[in-house]
Amino acid sequence: TDKLLKADKKHPSQWAHSPALGFVTACPATCGTGMALQVTLKAPKLSKRPDLAALASRAGLKLLEGEAGVKGDLVTLLCPSPLGVSEVECANKTLDAAAYLCKHEKMLAGGRGQLWLWDDHPRVCVTGAPSGDKRAVARAVAAEFGCVLVSASGLLREQVEAKTEVGVTVAKMMREGYFVPPGVMAGLVAERLGLPDCQSKGWVL
């Protein structure tokens, strides 16, 4: 305070002051309610998931950046937006979000470790120029979000190797220099995307 007063004499300015509270200051990050809430959860399953930050955001919390966010089994989150809400609303929002994450931690502990936890499973179709490395992009997206990677060419290859009716037809067409009809390809892709793993985890095509 002394340093501030000395600086104020050199560069006169007005400071918010209350007879009861003294100089009133607030961090810009907590403008609004003037209160920041932080919660730390012991979540050994959630802490190992690559989609933790996205799941926390969906719950209304923000995962602290860097090593402060996840330390071993401990997950530390912050209520990110105090603007436009009261202290009570901020506290309730944090409690509700913590309960939401605890519910999903129990789901994982109960054996749902391979399932996507969101209600709206990600469905991603990677497109681009023929020269672009779409396959590498698709692999990276699938790895980041824990989705199933679906390859149209891979589906055709599986059919040919298994010598299914579709596979035999496709192999013959390819030997004769014909393109695979779009309807055949669409049918294989639609069937693959309807399998339980794609429905429970989401997919990248």
Buried b (16+ CB within 10 A) or exposed e, 25-64: eeeeeeebbeeebeeebebebbbebebbbbbbebbbbbbb
Determine if residue 52 is labeled as part of a ligand binding site. no
SS3 166: helix
Determine if residue 67 is labeled as part of a ligand binding site. no
Distance CA 135, CA 126 (A): 8
Determine if residue 37 is labeled as part of a ligand binding site. yes
Q: Both tokens of residue 152?
A: 């149209």
Count of CB atoms situated within 10 Å of the CB of 71: 12
Express each pLDDT in 76-123 by its tens digit. Answer: 888 766 667 777 888 888 888 888 888 888 877 776 554 455 555 778
- Rounded percentage of the chain residues whose pLDDT exceeds 90: 0
Nearest to residue 73, comparing CAs of 45, 102, 38? 45
Contact (CB, 8 A) for 147 and 192: no
Determine if residue 38 is labeled as part of a ligand binding site. yes
Contact (CB, 8 A) for 69 and 38: no
| Residue 12 confidence (pLDDT) | 59
Contact (CB, 8 A) for 188 and 155: yes
Contacts of 115 (CB under 8 A, 6+ apart): 107, 200, 201
Domain spans in the chain, listed from the N-terminal domain onward: 17-110, 123-204
Nearest to residue 73, comparing CAs of 101, 41, 50? 41
- Rounded percentage of the chain residues whose pLDDT exceeds 70: 76
| Residue 112 confidence (pLDDT) | 57
Count of CB atoms situated within 10 Å of the CB of 191: 10
What is the mean predicted confidence (pLDDT) over 127-140?
80
Q: How many residues does the chain have?
A: 205
Contact (CB, 8 A) for 173 and 180: yes
| Residue 203 confidence (pLDDT) | 86
Contacts of 42 (CB under 8 A, 6+ apart): 73, 74, 75
Determine if residue 61 is labeled as part of a ligand binding site. yes
Backbone angles phi, psi at 81, to 5 degrees: -130, 95
CATH topology of domain 17-110: Ribosomal Protein S8; Chain: A, domain 1 (3.30.1370)
Q: Both tokens of residue 150?
A: 């679906």
Determine if residue 62 is labeled as part of a ligand binding site. yes
CATH architecture of 123-204: 3-Layer(aba) Sandwich (3.40)
Determine if residue 39 is labeled as part of a ligand binding site. yes
